[in-house]
Every structure is written in structure tokens, then in C-alpha cells.
Amino acid sequence: GAGVSQSPSNKVTEKGKDVELRCDPISGHTALYWYRQSLGQGLEFLIYFQGNSAPDKSGLPSDRFSAERTGGSVSTLTIQRTQQEDSAVYLCASSQSSGRDSPLHFGNGTRLTVT
Amino acid sequence: AQSVSQHNHHVILSEAASLELGCNYSYGGTVNLFWYVQYPGQHLQLLLKYFSGDPLVKGIKGFEAEFIKSKFSFNLRKPSVQWSDTAEYFCAVIGGGFKTIFGAGTRLFVKA
């Protein structure tokens, strides 16, 4: 079946512009996660959705970052007034449930470059 | 707060050499442990996982990992690496709650 799909795969934007990153999880997966991968920094947790609600937003770096999920499926991560330090690969992952025994299935990521 | 430490950021080995990548976590309660791998140009994928039971778990492609509770460790091993094992390896833990916390990753380069 189809895996986790993210778009765009690459995004170059000017400092100060807003960007939207999209994630289409595996069908039937109720849990959805956003991570940020910076060089040498590993994966930084941003936000977690169970269905359409976000019980854990603790990783969002600032109020310029927001995310939503509609219909228990597609999620959008929005970064307002982008800064150069926002440049990174943004990864989306989904899992069958929010249970501790559900491994994550990752998309290929969106590489964001802020110039 | 939970955290995961991977001691080696870059590892270079020759084919047929043995591999051990270190991973330590900080969380005193029950944990679920994972190793994920990212091959060049591909997405992250699960290599192996530990939930309970036998602390020595086997994953794909001949990899194994051992959970040592007293050491808060979950080291990844492979007796004989191949060039195709060149990738970045991430240790991850779920401690309290349901959030997967990742280490910084180890880049492995295997010389043919």
C-alpha cells in the first residue's frame, strides 16, 4: 500500500514568507507526528496528533509554528514569517495507534531552505 | 525529561568488520526501544524494536540489539557489515506517554 506522502519535497522561500507543508499519512493510521531534522541534531519532535486533536504540541519551537489535521487524515504544518534557522528537513510519520507498541512510518520529508 | 544519547556520530568500517553502535537513554520507568535506519536517499524505516521479553532482539538484515536495563542501554550490533549497510542509524525510545524521542544519529560508512 501507499506510504506516508509529503509535499513539497523541496521548498525554497525567502525570509519572512509563510510556508505550508503537507503530510498524507498511511490510510487508517490514527496517530501522526511531525519532526524536524537538522544537520547533526537528530530528529526533533514538534507535534503529535491523535485523530484531529493534538494532545502534545510541546515541541513547536515558537508561535510562528502551527499545525492542523483534518478528517483524521491529512495534516498541514505552517511556518509563518520564516527565519533562516527554520531551514531543515521536516519529517512526518504516522502509526496505527498512539500505543507504545506502534512503530512510526516516515515520509521522505520536505527540505525547507530559507534564504 | 527523556533523552537518548548516541555516542558515535560517525563510524567508518571495512566490509566484514563487526559493528556496535552505542545508545543510552534516560528514563527510569518502562520503555519501548527502537532502532531506525535511513539509507541514502530513502526515508527512515524501522530496523528493530524491543517491547518486552527477551532482551536480545533481532531485526532485519542481520542486525540485533540488546536491552540492558541496569545500564539504560540498547546497543545495536552486527557481526559482519556489508557496503550496503552504509546509512544513518537512529536509536529511539518511548518512555512516559507516547512520544518517540530520537537520538542524534550515527552515520555509518562501510568501505568496500
Q: What is the pLDDT of residues B8-18, one digit of tens each?
A: 899 999 999 99
Q: All 3 cell numbers of residue A42?
A: 537528530
- Is a pLDDT exceeding 90 seen at residue A58? no
With a CB cutoff of 8 Å and minimum separation 6, the contacts of A53 are none
Contact A24, A106 (CB under 8 A): no
Instruction: Decide if A45 and B98 are in contact by the 8 Å CB cutoff.
Output: no
Q: What percent of chain A has pLDDT over 70?
A: 97
Give tens-digit pLDDT for A81-92. 999 999 999 999
Q: What whole-number distance in Å separates Cα of residue A59 and Cα of residue A33?
A: 11
Average confidence (pLDDT) over A28-52: 89
Cα–Cα distance measured from residue A57 to residue A42, given in angstroms and rounded to the nearest whole number: 19
Report chain A residues whose CB lies below 8 A from the CB of B99: 45, 48, 56
For residue range B13-46, what is the model confidence (pLDDT) as tens digits? 999 999 999 999 998 888 899 999 999 999 999 9
pLDDT for residue B22: 96
Span A71-79, mean pLDDT? Answer: 94
How much is the pLDDT for B54?
A: 93
Within a 10 A sphere around the Cβ of A62, how many other Cβ atoms?
11
Residue-wise burial string across A97-115, b where 16 or more C-beta atoms lie within 10 A, e elsewhere: ebebebbbbbbbbbebebe
Report in angstroms the alpha-carbon separations of B107 from B6, B21, B33: 11, 10, 19
Q: Are residues B49 and A103, on separate chains, in Cβ contact within 8 Å?
A: yes
Predicted local confidence at residue A56, as pLDDT: 84
Residue B107 has, within 13 A of its CA and on its CB side, a CA count of: 8
| pLDDT on residue A15 | 97
Are B102 and A43 contacting, i.e. CB atoms less than 8 angstroms apart? Answer: yes
How far does the CA of residue A104 sit from the closest CA of chain B (Å)? 8
| Residue A48 contacts B where some CB pair is shorter than 8 Å | yes
What pLDDT is recorded for position A105? 95
**Exposed e or buried b per residue across A29-51, where buried means at least 16 C-beta atoms within 10 angstroms of its C-beta:** bbbbbbbbbeeeebbbbbbbbbe
Does residue A108 belong to the interface with chain B, where contact is any CB pair within 8 Å? yes
Nearest CA in chain B to A6: B43
* pLDDT higher than 60, residue A26: yes
Name the average pLDDT for chain A: 92
pLDDT at A42: 83
How much is the pLDDT for A1? 54
**pLDDT score of A23 more than 90:** yes
Q: pLDDT tens digits, residue range B54-108?
A: 999 999 999 999 999 999 999 999 999 999 999 999 999 998 777 889 999 999 9
Cβ-based neighbours of A98, under 8 Å, separated by 6 or more: A30, A31, A48, A50, B98
pLDDT, residue A73, reads 92
